[in-house]
A and B are shown apart, each in its own frame.
Chain A
Amino acid sequence: MPFKPVLLWTDLLLWLLVAGTAIYVWYCYRRPHLAAPWGRVFQSRTAIASTVVLAAFVGMTLADSLHFRPRIGSGSEGAAQYSNEVLSVLDVAFAYLRERRERTYSAPLATRLYAKDQIESSTGAPTRDYPKLTYGGAHLQDESAHGRDIALRAGLGASLAVAAAFLLSLLRRRLSRWRPNVPWSAGLWTFAVLLLLTVPLLVLSTGYHVFGTDKVGQDVFYQSLKSIRTALVIATLSTVTMLPFGVLFGIVAGYFRGWIDDVIQYLYTTLNSIPGVLLIAAAVLMMQVYIDTHPQLFPTAADRADVRLLLLCIILGVTSWTGLTRLLRGETLKLSQLEYIQAAHAFGVSSARILGRHILPNVAHIVIITLVMDFSGLVLAEAVLSYVGVGVDPATISFGTMINAARLEMGREPIVWWSLAAAFAFMLVLVLAANLLADAVRDGFDPRVRVGSVPV
């Protein structure tokens, strides 16, 4: 086999999450009462637009979650030998970005390095000038054609994007016939804008470093693409680890009341009373000590970085289940007073069955709202935690590590701004889309909004 598949922990959980989401969608699709709130959500234009943007990010994440180790030759007994480097499908697709390393900083679309250095001129005498980049703009015969080449490539990309968007717009009528209530044009417009932004970037990236290079000469565009996975893993897996605690404790406390309620309330007040950053920092410090003192457990650097990412998700999840628990406890307290629950009691239905069949489906909207609302906060939290030094492994590419590295270079003259700008743009788009979708989901699911508004 030319490669050996590697299943990292976060990959496994991400794919399980994808499977779980697929099952949930299928389940909702066949039940009109579960599909109704989602139908309301997707009547909003912002929801469609932000879903398109998020889908692009999710696509990147999943492409970056199929890992393998490439084969580098055969060993002595004919057994295949595999590289120690763990690559993903995304790495292969963007291999040209990953492998083209410059010496150090270079500005976006530049053909020369950021700093002057000793170079040999054509006559052989050493002069101080900006050295040419090894890869960026290397295809140019004549450097004066630089601007024209960029315009040409951007134009080519833009026309490709327009053509693709035009082809897609032919779908609109068919989509409208399938679901007339959904504002498909908003989604298609967003997609067209997305294409118009990304396709020229991709075309340009074949010849240049579109967002420049960082201190060790790595392409910033590639780093931004890799950061997406880290951000999404943290945002999704943290909420997934929080979910079982939050839901179970919340409904059990609200339903049984008495000493069980007291214990659970005590538990979450205690956890809540430790400031979040400090609790996370304390737990991450302890995790770091553990990882450093047990190196034998982690065969490759990728394994170690991955376990650290997973543990960070778990820590974030364990420290943030309290909000959901409190909401669910309150709602369950209210629900268990209602007649239908009393009736179930009178019929002798067991508590477990009441919780599973009657309470859980009726608090599901709170769970869904909380899940989407927490998403954007976790993406932002990653950056802050990495700055504080308790975030992802320093070797993992993430928005936090990008900002952290770029921050130290703010004092340079002229300023090195491109890493920060790239991280800023990517994060803003991701978090904004998540926030807008969260708003739409809340409006669609919250029963208080539903009263007297859209007829179902």
Chain B
Amino acid sequence: MLAYIVRRVLYAILILIGVNLITFVLFFFVNSPDDMARMQLGAKYVTPDALQKWKADHGYDKPLLWNSKASGPGKATETIFYEKSLRLFAFDFGAAEDGRNIGNEIRTRMGPSLALQIPVFVVALCVNITFALFLAFFRATYLDFWGVVLCVAMMSISTLFYIIGGQYLISKVWHLFPISGYAGGLDAWRFVLLPVIIGVVSSFGSSARLYRTLFLEEYSKDYVRTARAKGLAERVVMFRHVLQNAMIPILTGVVAAIPFLFMGALLSESFFGIPGLGSYTIDAIQAQDFAVVRSMVFLGAVLYIIGLLLTDISYTLVDPRVRFD
């Protein structure tokens, strides 16, 4: 098992290098630092001096890949590639457009993001699985049919409408929760409750339908028929056999999503004014803050790879048929 994990980690590093190269090409080859400076300064203030100053302030005044003017190892290290791309590997994200340290921002914003995301994750998983199991139990009846119709209808509605509608109805008309904002500590629940409900509702349609398909697939297998033929109660068949076996694909799919909880919910956070990583990302995109976007791309890739690794390991834990090769 250790050898397997080491091999996966090595592969993960290879992938991170690839991500790094893609972002480097995207951010520095498609447009030169001059273009970016012009964009940031705005058309009115572009003078050669201002361009140079902006580039010097942000560390973009060095050559891209090879600095022939520097001496010794400086030839490779005093370049944009080294300072902006390679340093990401040490989680040294540098400074944002407003001069704040991105690493610090990420650390402080992780808390609110998790306060929102973990309840959404847990509640949604329970609700969706329960509902899917309910539909699978009443398979091929009107209850099942209308349940699926509900799922399809709910997944056809954009998340934006759930958020806007929920915000309007619950906060503005009924005054149950504050419309937006955030407070640290235990007071956070008042601000987080509505986004959590909306997060659960908006994930409901597609997940519940997917899980129902997985349950039905399990129901149609031979061992279920055998279990019934032995005279097992339907309750036992459902919970001991179907649920346990269908949990394998469900759990492994879910495990891959766990690391992404850190990234926060892009839309809800920015609508509800929760100071998490999701709203940080959206603000950075809207302000065209390339340094932050670059850091979030890298962070997201790291989390995705951790998710992959966790999936592989959880497969071997829950399904004894899977062996390391």
Contacts and interface: CB of A to CB of B under 8 A. Distances in A.
A292 interface: yes
Looking at chain A's contact residues, the main secondary structure is: helix
Looking at chain B's contact residues, the main secondary structure is: helix
Interface string A269-283: 111111101110111
B70 to A, nearest CB: 28
Interface in A267-304: 267, 269-275, 277-279, 281-283, 285-286, 288-290, 292-293
Contacts of B22: 270-271, 274
Contacts of A410: 164, 167-168, 172
A293 B39 contact: yes
Interface in A322-369: none
Contact of A403 (B153, B160, B281): B160
In this complex, the member of B36, B156, B164, B297 whose beta carbon has the largest number of chain A beta carbons within 10 angstroms is B156
B310 interface: no
A116 interface: no
Interface string B166-200: 01100010000000000000000000000000000
A289 B164 contact: no
A292 B42 CA distance: 11
A415 B168 contact: yes
A92 to B, nearest CB: 31
Contacts of A428: 153, 156-157
Contacts of B36: 289
A410 B161 CA distance: 12
In this complex, the member of B158, B159, B167, B267 whose beta carbon has the largest number of chain A beta carbons within 10 angstroms is B158
A282 B297 contact: yes
Contacts of A289: 30-31, 35-36, 39
B290 A435 contact: no
Query: For the side of the interface on A, what is the size category?
Result: 35 or more
A388 interface: yes
B297 to A, nearest CB: 5
Contact of A274 (B266, B286, B300): B300
Contact of B18 (A270, A293, A388, A431): A270
B26 interface: yes
Interface in B271-324: 281-282, 285-286, 288, 290, 293-294, 296-297, 300-301, 304-305, 308
B27 interface: yes
B229 to A, nearest CB: 20
A288 to B, nearest CB: 8
Contacts of B285: 281, 285, 388-390
B282 A388 contact: yes
Interface in B226-263: 260, 263
A380 B285 CA distance: 19
A290 B15 contact: no
B123 interface: no
Nearest to A404: B160
B293 A293 contact: no
B23 interface: yes
B76 to A, nearest CB: 24
B102 interface: no
B168 A270 contact: no
A424 B152 contact: no
Interface string A20-36: 00000000000000000
A407 interface: yes
Interface in B1-57: 14-15, 18-19, 22-23, 26-27, 30-31, 35-36, 38-39
Contact of B301 (A273, A376, A435, A436): A273
A434 B36 CA distance: 40
B155 interface: yes
Interface string A435-452: 110010000000000000
Given A273-B301, A431-B156, A290 B30 contact: yes
Contact of A380 (B31, B158, B294): B158
B84 to A, nearest CB: 14
Query: For the side of the interface on B, what is the size category?
Result: 35 or more
Interface in A402-425: 403, 407, 410, 415, 420, 424
B152 A439 contact: yes
B152 A278 contact: no
Contacts of B293: 278, 281-282, 285
Contacts of B27: 282, 286
Contact of A383 (B15, B158, B172): B158
A387 interface: yes
A273 B19 contact: yes
Given A290-B30, A384-B158, A384-B159, A432 B286 contact: no
A285 B260 CA distance: 23
A266 interface: yes
A41 interface: no
Contacts of B297: 274-275, 278-279, 282
B164 A275 contact: no
B212 to A, nearest CB: 13
Contacts of B281: 277-278, 281
Contacts of B294: 282
In this complex, the member of A272, A282, A424, A428 whose beta carbon has the largest number of chain B beta carbons within 10 angstroms is A282
Nearest to B157: A428
Contact of B266 (A267, A277, A283): A277
Contacts of A279: 297
Nearest to B278: A277
Contacts of A383: 158, 160
Nearest to A410: B168
A285 B38 contact: no
Nearest 8 pairs between A and B by C-beta? A270-B18, A275-B300, A273-B304, A431-B156, A432-B156, A273-B301, A389-B286, A286-B30
Interface of B: 14-15, 18-19, 22-23, 26-27, 30-31, 35-36, 38-39, 152-153, 155-161, 164, 167-168, 172, 260, 263, 266-267, 281-282, 285-286, 288, 290, 293-294, 296-297, 300-301, 304-305, 308
Given A292-B39, A389-B285, 14 more contacts: A270-B18, A273-B308, A274-B301, A275-B301, A282-B26, A282-B293, A290-B31, A380-B158, A383-B158, A384-B266, A387-B267, A427-B158, A431-B157, A439-B152
12 contacts: A269-B308, A273-B15, A275-B304, A282-B23, A286-B31, A290-B30, A293-B39, A384-B158, A388-B266, A389-B285, A424-B157, A431-B156
